[in-house]
């Protein structure tokens, strides 16, 4: 049972929006590609956990504040035998393990050992379990999800789950027979309620209203859209059709994400979408999806 689904993280949504609407530098676009690849790996692991037939609760993509410190959990699985924290890595290529370090085999470049971050997360989470009186066994593993990942000299009986080990790990979980009880469900819901967005980990490029491209973009290929044909927006590049109202709502949501401090008005929505849609269409979407505040010329939406 999935308690919390995985969505695109707010930082990644912001960066993707800026990538569409401005000219980012290569280091920034590289960072976006790495984040997208990581997200894709996490989604692949989600799909595998969904196939489990044992009694379990899945809580994805948690950001928790524990004892004044923030920790992030890619995937968390609760079964009758305990709680498992998964750090998911979508690394690709040949790596070597040496002296408790991971290095890219072709360049000898050292990368951060994910076990260190996982250890910190596990220690903080154990504190949280004590505070919540959650008396479950706690386990943690690093999952290397990409089939094109190889780790030479991998330590035996470590926290690493390599691609070839993953089917056996999932089979072991499927064979678990201990049932969940009310305390498991209560704890899972508590974690979901504690989840919060924390942007302090991320550094975003500076941007303002005037420096960003205005318009609407295809949901599939991210190409700039032209004016709608009736109620439909059709992408001239990939041919994807989408209701104009859905496009407007998506772009307005992006505006609110990038400019949370700004008041949302019909005119701003009209300008933000590149004046592709009539003010009447913009106003209609705002009325249906947001609450009107103020009166006359000073009104806005929240």
- Residues 160 and 296 reside in one and the same domain: no
Q: Residue 51 — pLDDT band, cuts 50, 70, 90?
A: very high
- Residues 108 and 257 reside in one and the same domain: no
Domain that holds residue 266: 232-301
Handedness of CA 48, 50, 51, 54 (dihedral sign): positive
Q: Residue 286 — pLDDT band, cuts 50, 70, 90?
A: very high
Kindly state whether residue 212 falls inside one of the protein's structural domains. no
Beta strand 56-66 pairing with 69-79:
antiparallel
- Residues 149 and 241 reside in one and the same domain: no
Q: How far is CA 286 from CA 224, 282, 289, in A?
A: 22, 6, 5
- Residues 140 and 260 reside in one and the same domain: no
Which pLDDT belongs to residue 5? 95
Q: Residue 27 — pLDDT band, cuts 50, 70, 90?
A: confident
Question: What's the predicted TM-score (pTM) here?
Answer: 0.88
pLDDT at residue 199 greater than cutoff 80: no
pLDDT at residue 204 greater than cutoff 90: no
Q: Residue 25 — pLDDT band, cuts 50, 70, 90?
A: confident
Kindly state whether residue 222 falls inside one of the protein's structural domains. no
pLDDT tens, position by position, 241-271: 999 999 999 999 999 999 999 999 999 999 9
Kindly state whether residue 225 falls inside one of the protein's structural domains. no
- Residues 158 and 294 reside in one and the same domain: no
pLDDT tens, position by position, 209-219: 999 999 999 99
């Amino acid at each position: 049972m999935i308690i919390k689904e995985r969505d695109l993280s707010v930082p990644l949504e912001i960066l993707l929006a800026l990538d569409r609407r401005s000219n980012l530098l290569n280091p920034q676009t590289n960072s976006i590609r790495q984040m997208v690849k990581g997200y894709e790996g996490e989604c692949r692991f989600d799909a595998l956990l969904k196939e489990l037939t044992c009694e379990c609760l899945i809580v994805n993509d948690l950001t928790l504040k524990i004892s004044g410190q923030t920790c992030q959990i890619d995937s968390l699985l609760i079964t009758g035998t305990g709680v498992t924290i998964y750090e998911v890595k979508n690394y690709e290529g040949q790596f070597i393990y040496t002296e408790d370090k991971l290095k890219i085999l072709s360049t000898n470049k050292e990368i951060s050992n994910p076990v260190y971050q996982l250890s910190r997360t596990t220690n903080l989470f154990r504190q949280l379990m004590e505070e919540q009186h959650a008396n479950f066994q706690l386990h943690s593993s690093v999952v290397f999800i990409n089939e094109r990942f190889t780790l030479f000299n991998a330590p035996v009986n470590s926290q690493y789950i390599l691609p070839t080990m993953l089917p056996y790990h999932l089979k072991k979980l499927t064979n678990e027979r201990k049932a969940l009880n009310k305390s498991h469900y209560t704890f899972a819901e508590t974690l979901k309620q504690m989840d919060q967005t924390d942007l302090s980990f991320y550094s975003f490029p500076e941007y303002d209203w005037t420096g960003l491209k205005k318009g609407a973009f295809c949901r599939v290929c991210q190409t700039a859209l032209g004016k709608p044909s009736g109620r439909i927006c059709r992408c001239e590049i990939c041919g994807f059709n989408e209701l104009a109202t859905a496009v407007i709502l998506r772009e307005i949501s992006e505006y609110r994400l990038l400019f949370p401090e700004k008041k949302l008005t019909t005119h701003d929505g009209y300008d933000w979408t590149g004046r592709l849609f009539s003010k009447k269409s913009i106003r209609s979407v705002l009325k249906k999806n947001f609450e009107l505040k103020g009166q006359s010329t000073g009104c806005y939406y929240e």
